[in-house]
A and B are shown apart, each in its own frame.
Chain A
Amino acid sequence: MTNPEIKNKIRRLRFDHGEMTQQELAKQAGVTRQTIIAIEAGKYSPSLMLAFRIAKIFEVKIDEVFEYPE
């Protein structure tokens, strides 16, 4: 069984938050920029803890950042 790609709105949220760079988001989330790049591209599904941290940075609920495909 393959995991479906979890969609996310990180790119749009970054731009809504003063064109936040991937580096800035990575620093605040406590991960590397490569990980943010991979998450944005849907190539890596973050842990629940990291997903919550990213949602908290953007001050939104987790389901406003990540979307499980129907």
Chain B
Amino acid sequence: MVPEQKRAWFMLAVIIISVICFLILIPLIGIRAAPAAFGLIGFSGLGHTLFRKKHDPDEVETDERDEAIQKTATAAGAWTSYGVFVAACMIVWEVCRSQGQTTISIHVLPLIVAAGGITLFVGRSIAVLILYRRGEVHDES
């Protein structure tokens, strides 16, 4: 497993933990304060420190395939994020409309943005894992 794959797994783990914390905090401190749990996602930045490739003079750290995978994964994450953001906006609009509301609570807006932002990282991480997995078929040294 290359460091980029380890970082992707770490990112997914941190996001899952933060979502669980968010769900636990809702009944305890309310929906307005519970999104503070998403601050835990900041720990995903440690992935770059924890999962660095050991310096080996006989091997390059990254190459054109890594760059291609990261580029494709970032695009996949961005498009997924955009889709989720638009869907979240439309769902809120539909729910409010069906209940006869003409305004949307400002406390809903950060949740919509969070949904879009989190999906970017989740989508990118999943795409990284899938794209690297494709090449792992015949491993000999």
Decide whether A and B are members of one complex. Answer: yes
Chain B residues in 8 Å Cβ range of A46: 64
Selected contact of A27 from candidates B58, B132, B140, CB within 8 Å: B58
Instruction: Please name all residues of chain A whose beta carbon is closer than 8 Å to the beta carbon of B65 when the two chains form the complex.
Output: 31-32, 34-35, 38, 44
Determine if A50 is an interface residue (Cβ-Cβ < 8 Å). Answer: yes
Q: Is the interface of B mostly helix, strand, loop or mixed?
A: loop
State whether the Cβ of B49 lies closer than 8 Å to any Cβ in chain A. no
Other A-B pairs beyond A27-B58, A44-B135, 12, CB < 8 Å: A21-B140, A23-B141, A26-B59, A30-B63, A31-B63, A34-B135, A34-B136, A35-B135, A37-B137, A38-B137, A44-B65, A50-B64
Which positions in B face A, CB cutoff 8 Å?
Answer: 2, 58-66, 132, 134-141
Give the chain A neighbours of B136 by CB distance below 8 A: 34, 37
Are A37's CB and B139's CB within 8 A? yes
Contact residue among A32, A37, A43 (Cβ-Cβ distance under 8 Å from B63): A32
Interface of A is mostly: helix
Contact residues on A (Cβ < 8 Å of other chain), bracket: 20 to 34
Q: Which residue from A23, A27, A32, A40 sits with its C-beta under 8 Å from B2?
A: A32
Which residue of A has the minimal Cβ distance to B1?
A34
Q: Is there contact, CB below 8 Å, between B140 and A22? A: yes
Whether the Cβ atoms of B135 and A37 lie closer than 8 Å is yes
Determine whether A62 belongs to the interface, using a CB cutoff of 8 Å to chain B. no
User: Which residues of chain B have C-beta atoms less than 8 A from A41's C-beta?
Assistant: 135, 137-138
